[in-house]
Amino acid sequence: MDFIIPAILTIATAATPLIFAAIGELIVEKSGTLNLGVEGMMIMGAMAGFATAIATNSVILAMLAAMFAGAFMALVFGFLTLTLLANQVATGLAITIFGLGLSALIGHSYVGITFDGLSKGIPLLQEIPLIGQLLFGHDIMVYMSFGLVFLSYIFLTKTKAGLILRAVGTNHDAAHSLGYSVIKIRYMAVIFGGAMAGLGGAYLSIAYTPMWMEGMTSGRGWIALALVVFATWKPWRALVGAYIFGGITIIQLNIQGFGVNIPAQYLSMLPYLATILVLVIISRDKILVKMNAPACLGKAFHPNS
């Protein structure tokens, strides 16, 4: 049974990039904006984070650069959809394609190099038998992801700013008539979402697999988007969902390693099947949808209309 604790540690690394990206997108969607550009923002974060880590040898600067890169992409999205009122779905897709291409172009000279990556584990504490590795054997960003979930929960439910954000997402006309600047609030949410997606991407390039490769996010941005719906826009559920998504991947790899003959494709499908199932269930229950889904999701807002 020696493999169980390492397997759990691996699940944490698989789940962490999803948590960052999903929580970021959750806040964006709570403000009533749908940004499908998560994949593009993540890969830009991965690129910027890796390049900065190589140049400065500082993971803190790398994380900041990744957040900046993600936020920059989000700002482009925000300008197009919030100021110019472009279609959010089309713009989000464009941001994804743009990010994948731009990161490949900028990252050309970074292919084939590597560095040590984030260090793992808290000294001394991780030596505690049984729970030491489990609780204290992770890298710093895993703890940050838990902190982010907690803070976003507090923000959305316990603070005035969070309630305003939700009001903007639920009924932007009402929020506008109360004197809140819908566009400004949505800009802030979109930029925050971009920064978090960038951070999630950086986790891939500085902790998960410390290297840069074109297209290295491999669709994780899309999983994060699915995760937001799966979580019915609640941070805690996003956390659980990310661990389920990551866990299924790692468990199916473990099962294969033991030579059990379950077709891996079915297990790979499971997270998506679960998302579809959750979608069907929440769409059937009208009250639940009203409680959770931001009513203005994806709708453009014009102050004069």
Partner 1 sequence: MGNISKIITSVIAVAVIAVGGYIYSNVSAIAGEVAAKDFKVGFVYIGPPGDHGWTYQHDQGRIAVEKALGVKTSFVENISEGPDAQRVINQLAASGHNMIFSTSFGYMNPTLKAAKRNKNVMFEHATGYKQAENVATYSARFYEGRYVAGHIAGKMTKTNVIGYIGSFPIPEVIRGINAAYLGAKKVNPDIKIKIIWVNSWFDPGKESDAAKTLIDQGADIIMQHTDSPAPVQVAEKRGVFAIGQASDMSSFGPKSHLTSIVDNWAPYYISRVKAGMDGTWQGGGDTWGGFASGMVEMSSYNDAMPQDVQDLATSIRKGITDGSIHPFAGPIINQAGEVIVKAGDKPEDAMLAGMNFYVQGIDGQIPK
Sign of CA dihedral 84, 156, 295, 35: positive
Residue 21, interface with partner 1 (CB under 8 A)? no
The footprint of partner 1 on residues 105-164 (CB under 8 A) is 108, 111-114, 117
Residue 2, interface with partner 1 (CB under 8 A)? yes
Q: Which is nearer to partner 1, 41 or 168 (CB)?
A: 41
Amino acid identity, position 182 = V
Q: Reduced to 3 states, what is the DSSP secondary structure of residue 111?
A: strand
Q: Is 299 left (phi over 0), alpha (psi -120 to 50) or beta?
A: beta
**What x-and-dash track marks residues 246-275 binding partner 1 by CB under 8 A?**
---xx--xx-xxxx-x-xxx--x-------
Q: Which is nearer to partner 1, 7 or 183 (CB)?
A: 7
The two tokens of residue 11 are: 């699940």
Task: With beta carbons less than 8 A apart as the criterion, state whether 288 and 282 touch.
Answer: yes
Least separation in angstroms between residue 15's CB and partner 1 is 11
What is the Cα Rg of the chain in Å? 20
Task: With beta carbons less than 8 A apart as the criterion, state whether 74 and 194 touch.
Answer: yes
Q: Which of 215, 236, 285, 288 binds partner 1 (CB under 8 A)?
A: 215
Residue 83, interface with partner 1 (CB under 8 A)? no
H or E element, residue 278: helix 264-284
The two tokens of residue 276 are: 């579809």
Q: Which is nearer to partner 1, 121 or 162 (CB)?
A: 121
219 exposure class (CB count in 10 Å sphere: 0-12, 13-18, 19+): exposed
Task: With beta carbons less than 8 A apart as the criterion, state whether 205 and 212 touch.
Answer: yes
Q: Which is nearer to partner 1, 253 or 279 (CB)?
A: 253
Q: Which of 151, 218, 277, 288 binds partner 1 (CB under 8 A)?
A: 218
* CB neighbour list of residue 176: distance below 8 Å, 6 or more residues apart: 182, 301, 303
Q: Which is nearer to partner 1, 10 or 181 (CB)?
A: 10
Q: Which of 22, 63, 95, 211 binds partner 1 (CB under 8 A)?
A: 211
Q: Which is nearer to partner 1, 126 or 292 (CB)?
A: 126
Least separation in angstroms between residue 77's CB and partner 1 is 24
Q: Among candidates 53, 24, 16, which has minimal Cα distance to 197? A: 24
Task: Give the residues lining the site for partner 1 (CB under 8 A).
Answer: 2-3, 6-7, 10, 13-14, 104, 108, 111-114, 117, 204, 208-211, 213-216, 218, 220, 249-250, 253-254, 256-259, 261, 263-265, 268
